[in-house]
Amino acid sequence: MPGMTRQGGQVWAHVGQAFRETAYDVVVVGAGRMGGACALFLRQLAPDVRLLLVERGGLPNEEGATILAPGVWTALDVPAGREREAAWVRRALAHDFGNVTFGPRPLLDLHAEEGEGRLPSADLLAQFPEAAGLFDPAALPFARVDLEAATYRPGAVALACGQRAVRAGADLLLNTHAHLTPGGVRLDRLTVTNTHQIVTHETHELRAGLVVVAMGADGPHAAEHELGLHTAHGRAYRQLPRLNTPSTDHTPTLRAGGLILRPQHGGFTLVPPIHHRDPHGYRPTGGRLTGVPVGVRRETLEDLLRLMAALPPLATEALEVGHSLADVPGAWLALPEGRADTPPCHQHLTEGVHLLLGGPLADPLGLAVAYDLAARVAGVGERPWA
């Protein structure tokens, strides 16, 4: 029996619950923050649209980019002309999704050279005493400060969006791999065997007036292999190693050389810069540090090594580089247009199919782009940030 919510949609969590639907107005594939938000906004803007949200894993999905996203909102990353959208996202994160651990947390963007809007970083230590010892003011003497920056948990946003979409009437089908087909999707409902293998329990063909492909880094691949539609998008494998140097709620977020030190769980999550996309066919592999295999990929290791003098904690055993790839949290990140600096986007791929991508700038802009697609599908002209 499908689970029921009082006035909301149905939820199918496992293959024991029979799925007998044959058609929806809209199917959103992927319940990460982009797909979840799009589903929620669409139900809010067009309550009569029959909507199914399909997710390969659970809610939240443990394998996508959302759960590992840094959750750092900063105006410094927002492209010119997108400031109002970013401000709307910030307000929404602070107020609209319940407890997503949203909190103002200034960001110090540290530099070796002088530049517009940069202050002497040594002077900032009086204002941000918790940053003492995290960076060397002699190596990074200048800093821009974003006092409006904030941190939050993108995984909690995705969870809230999915749950609220269901309460608003969306149906939710979990543990199901959706393949794109002309005019709809083919659904593989997945289950786990006694020997922990994931197998397809049953397959359904579903008609859909419109499909929103919100599968993160897998979206462009699915569009190409299942619909034959080539896109210019790329992907990169991003690892987020842990740095066990103490942090508090008052520790600012730091960034140097593109590397973000994001205070989290009493330490730091390191968010390395994305220099460019990874080539097709690349399989992530760990690197070597002074001959010893580690779990951090070589390119990330090089970024960390380069910054060790400027960020002394990186040169201590507080840095967790792991022994193998499995030791270091990492995920494939979509790169809109194959680049690391492009904002989230949606793209009309073909009649009845939209692609929705978050990527590196999803933290400050993702919700607005998900809203924009929902409003377009709903035929609504206004945008709340305009």
Point out which residues bind its own copies (CB under 8 A): 228, 230, 232, 275-276, 278-285, 287, 290-291, 297-299, 302, 305
260 and 266 Cβ atoms separated by less than 8 Å: no
CB of 340 to its own copies, least distance (A): 11
CB of 203 to its own copies, least distance (A): 22
CB of 290 to its own copies, least distance (A): 7
- Is the Cβ of residue 232 or residue 326 nearer to its own copies in the bound state? 232
CB of 324 to its own copies, least distance (A): 13
- Is the Cβ of residue 209 or residue 284 nearer to its own copies in the bound state? 284
CB of 299 to its own copies, least distance (A): 6
Q: What is the DSSP letter of 135?
A: B
CB of 55 to its own copies, least distance (A): 28
SS3 133: coil
Q: What is the DSSP letter of 101?
A: -
- Is the Cβ of residue 196 or residue 230 nearer to its own copies in the bound state? 230
CB of 282 to its own copies, least distance (A): 5
- Is the Cβ of residue 220 or residue 364 nearer to its own copies in the bound state? 220
237 is written with which tokens? 């494998």
277 is written with which tokens? 């996309």
Residues 6+ apart with CB under 8 A from 246: 266, 267
Residues 6+ apart with CB under 8 A from 180: 29, 211, 213, 222, 223, 226, 227, 353
101 is written with which tokens? 């651990």
Count CB-CB contacts under 10 A for residue 320.
17
- Is the Cβ of residue 298 or residue 348 nearer to its own copies in the bound state? 298
19 and 187 Cβ atoms separated by less than 8 Å: yes
CA dist., res. 351 & res. 96, Å (int): 33
- Is the Cβ of residue 335 or residue 369 nearer to its own copies in the bound state? 335
CA distances from 340 to 98, 134, 345 (A): 30, 26, 13
- Is the Cβ of residue 288 or residue 383 nearer to its own copies in the bound state? 288
Residues 6+ apart with CB under 8 A from 124: 108, 131, 143, 145
CB of 360 to its own copies, least distance (A): 16
- Is the Cβ of residue 127 or residue 282 nearer to its own copies in the bound state? 282
Question: Could you tell me how many residues make up the chain?
Answer: 386
- The bridge status of strand 119-120 relative to strand 184-192 is unpaired
